[in-house]
Amino acid sequence: MPPFRQEPDPRANTPPPRARSSLWEAVFRRKLIGPATFRSPLRRCLESRDLMALGLAAVLGTGIYITVGLVARQHAGPAVLVSFVVGGLAAFLTSLCQAEFGARLPLAGATYTYIYVTVGELWGFLIGWNTVMELTVALAFVGRTWSSHLDALCGHAVSTYLKTHVATWDLTPLADFPDFCAFGSVLLTVLFVIIGAKISTWISAIFISINFVVIVCVIVSGAFASHLGNWTEAEFAPYGWEGVITGASIAFSCFTGLNVILTSGEETHEANTSLPGSLIMTVVTSLPLYIGVAVILTMLVPWDSIDVTSPLPSAFLSHGRNWRWAWYLTTVGCLSAMMAAQVAILVALSRTVYSLATDGLLFSFCGKVSRTTQVPVVAALLFGGVAAFLSLALDVGSLVQFASMGSLLSYVVLPMCSIISRYQPPLPHEIPHIQYQWVQQQMHEHAYDTEPPRVSSEDFVAEFGPRFRRVGELRSTSRYLECIKNLPAGHVVTTCILSLTIVLVGCSVLVKHAQWEPVTSHWWVFFLLTLLLAAMATILAVIFAHHQNEDIPTFRLRLIPFVPALTLCLNVLLVVHLDGKTWARCAIWIGIGLLLYFGYGFRHSKALTQPHAPLPEEWIRPPRGRLFHREDFVLVEQPPSRIRDDVVLFDRTVRDDVTAMVRDDMLRSIPEDDDDEEERPLLPEGWNRRGKKKNRGEHLERDPVVFYDSNI
């Protein structure tokens, strides 16, 4: 590749304008995405199987060994099967929304970053802060639960020794004794995480493999000891449908571990394909296991006899000494699952803290990355240490009381952002990908021509410029909505999304107030629900009447806005059915987050020094623009998921040979006739038979493409 002459930018020494630091600006100030956004110090070493190992480690942790029994015993009874089906459906639909965002923005902040880019800084920070606090408490909770199961496996010898030779406490918030076993497990997890992302995923894969084998053995062996009378002789839903939906909201929280896949996007090869596939496959793999364990557990013992602290081991132990081997097996599987879950939780926690710190919303030292292992070592050490001390001093009940609903709240906001983002113009870093796909389409359409097509940046702007500018505007065929035609593009859609959320909250509250009785038994409930459903249909029709962004070069969710609206409906229904104490804890964490934001993040945000958001035509203006110069427009610092070093601008001395090679490569993919014995032309030196450059990284291998520019 010939070297390019880098012309000095006269604006390089000009300090960027400083944005107004008002409260209104803070609420709606959004993060700009440019080429420098994807220059990460984190090591890019993960693949699809690594992401899936982390996802399964987070999803199949305490949930499948503890939460299944908790939901069956206290909320749903044998209908725990329905609870996990509903929760799994909501998780699957949410994973589709996450997949589109993850492919478009493969950054470590995950949901926090998606909300920051789409809605605003304050909303993104509150979601990120709640996620950090929830993950910290969850890490301490899993460590404490791991210690209790290890103590049970050793015949309670560990707890007896600590009570006798160390200390005992008699304070209400604290545990009966300092649990150094839980403290050591969390510190061991910190060690696993700071030695490198690849090693962390290997450790998670080992533990989750053991866990997977144990779960399959539990389902198969439990089928021989199950008793169908535990279902037929008891009421299927003893707490009614309200208990089933409440159990579904708890079951849905088991799938919040999918966030670890998104937070690893900045360390992933080909994130545009790895992230969506890993998210969907994790849900598809884990949901049948949850359903199988729920069915076997409620058939092993009556639902009202389930031991909440240790459901599966105690269920097997109740069938006599012949099943004691199953008790040991499930206990070992539980220990493996919880160790893998600790690693996955700390990976997600450290990457979320790193993203908040690099954006200036948390203390800058929290974003320090090790030059040796290329992981956010300070975030892992600091918050891992906090979780270790919490597991040392607090008992399981106190840790559950400190838990919040940050992840569930983020899963409510995420479908809203999914709809809003589809009615906004493409992000700046997506423009080169759209241009590349357009040129490839032009080359394939003219594959039989004697002369290759000559395409330029001006042709691309002439075709796609009007398409980008009309995104978010009202369609010309919507004659019944002329009254909102002159409103700013995208504002109507945002207002409709907020209105839709309010309507869904009202429907969920009404259904909960009616205690899931037939709506005809309360005429006023039936009347209000009819009005709200009509309003919901009207809002979706207004949203659909606007132009969408159909030019997304990565994974694209179909049936917008209906699939995200269904996801939002299920998630709001599940969140509304959480108890009041959970909402109170969430309000406390939000209050602490507001104090931290206005005390530090409001004044140190990197968004204060970023340039103002460019207009859509400025994103695609050739040959120079605000974010992309002539060299950047073609040889651009692209997001890690689609890095291309072969999208180059050739000079006239070599581009004809490469163009002929591209055309020959495409002709080679066309089926040949048997009578055609024409000899193919030779490939240029340095290229293999598949039209790819030799001796390059595996994630950089792409078919070359030529851009013609009249300025050369």
Among the listed residues 259, 231, 253, the one whose alpha carbon sits nearest the alpha carbon of residue 71: 253
Cβ-based neighbour number of residue 388 at 10 Å? 22
Q: Is residue 323 part of a domain?
A: yes
Exposure of 153 by Cβ count < 10 A (0-12 exposed, 13-18 middle, 19+ buried)? Answer: middle
The DSSP element (H or E) to which 384 belongs, if any, is helix 377-393
What pLDDT was estimated at residue 381? 93
Residue 606 covered by a domain: no
pLDDT value of residue 518: 57
pTM, rounded to two decimals: 0.79
The CATH number of residue 366's host domain is 1.20.1740.10
The predicted pLDDT at position 348 comes to 92
Contact 553, 430 (CB under 8 A): yes
In a domain, 21, yes or no: no
Query: CA-to-CA distance for 447 and 242, rounded, in angstroms?
Result: 61
Query: What is the rounded distance in angstroms from the CA atom of residue 658 to the CA atom of residue 683?
Result: 9
Residue 19 burial (10 A CB sphere; 0-12, 13-18, 19+): middle
- Beta-carbon contacts of 25 under 8 Å, excluding residues fewer than 6 positions away, are 19
Report pLDDT for 189: 93
692 in Cβ contact with 681 (< 8 Å) = no
Residue 418: φ, ψ to 5°: -65, -40
Q: DSSP secondary structure string, 495-517? A: HHHHHHHHHHHHHHHHHHHTTT-
CB within 8 Å of 172: residues ≥ 6 apart: none
pLDDT of residue 659: 44
d(CA 620, CA 364): 34
Residue 347 lies in a domain: yes
Residue at 501 is within a domain: no
Low-confidence ranges of the chain (pLDDT < 50): 1-19, 612-663, 665-712
The pLDDT value given to residue 672:
47
Cβ-contact 560, 546 below 8 angstroms: no
Structural domain that includes position 96: 40-417
Q: What domain count does the chain have?
A: 1
In a domain, 425, yes or no: no
pLDDT tens digit sequence for 339-361:
999 999 999 999 999 999 998 88
Give me the pLDDT at residue 26, please: 66
Query: Would 246 be classed as within a structural domain?
Result: yes
Is 566 domain-assigned?
no
Q: Is 190 helix (H, G, I), strand (E, B) or coil?
A: helix
